[in-house]
Amino acid sequence: MKEVLKARLGLAPETGEELFWQKLEGFWRELTVTLNLSEEASVSQLKGAIEALKAGAGMTTELQEEVQRLKALLADQQAKGAVEEALKQGKISPAQKSWALEYCRRDPEGFRTYVAQVVPVVPVDTQLSLIPDQAGEGELTPAEMAVCKQLNISVSQYREAKKRLSITRHQ
């Protein structure tokens, strides 16, 4: 048994008794100090301290798993909030919602950058008129005003083009 202990303490089999016992005493001292026990701690106190450490390690694992679950839940809620806000701003269409959620969950910063740079693709707080006769005589509908803006032409240029198109259709 002494040879096994000598090997575990890193001593050669021919190590003398005095050095063996000094090394063993040093090991015991280091172990008790490491476990916050007095140097006179008994074997049962040592076992109790080790069991307490093992129980604490299990609790640490559980706490780490709970923290990971909470982080995932928070990230999911933040992604849903960011996507809902992008929908409200017209930056994404309802058809893009599942794509946006996946993207935001995978790369929240990239999604924020995308939303900040993209122009609204869905009109928000704008009433579009798809009925051409809604405007009064000489007035342009909101859709026609949008065409002017997109084509960078004046209202008078648009009216003139519209009048020419109308004459051509009636002939």
Domain containing 65 equals: 61-125
3-class secondary structure for 18-58?
A: HHHHHHHHHHHHHHHHHCCCCCCCCHHHHHHHHHHHHHHHH
Q: Are residues 120 and 138 in the same domain?
A: no
Q: Where are the alpha helices (DSSP H) in the chain?
A: 2-8, 17-34, 43-89, 97-106, 108-117, 142-151, 155-170
Q: Are residues 121 and 142 in the same domain?
A: no
Q: Are residues 117 and 77 in the same domain?
A: yes
Q: Are residues 68 and 119 in the same domain?
A: yes
Q: Are residues 67 and 90 in the same domain?
A: yes
> Does pLDDT of 171 surpass 70?
no
If one counts the domains in the chain, the total is 2
Tell me how many degrees the CA angle 28-34-37 measures, rounded to the nearest 5.
75
Q: Are residues 121 and 141 in the same domain?
A: no
Express as a percent the part of the chain with pLDDT over 90: 36
> Does pLDDT of 114 surpass 90?
yes
Q: Are residues 105 and 139 in the same domain?
A: no
Residue range 37-62: mean pLDDT, rounded: 83
pTM: 0.45
Domain membership flag for residue 3: no
Domain membership flag for residue 121: yes
Q: Are residues 108 and 146 in the same domain?
A: no
Q: Are residues 141 and 91 in the same domain?
A: no
Q: Are residues 65 and 106 in the same domain?
A: yes
Tell me how many degrees the CA angle 44-46-52 measures, rounded to the nearest 5.
100
Q: Are residues 121 and 136 in the same domain?
A: no
Q: Are residues 108 and 159 in the same domain?
A: no
> How does residue 103 score in pLDDT terms, banded at 50, 70 and 90?
very high
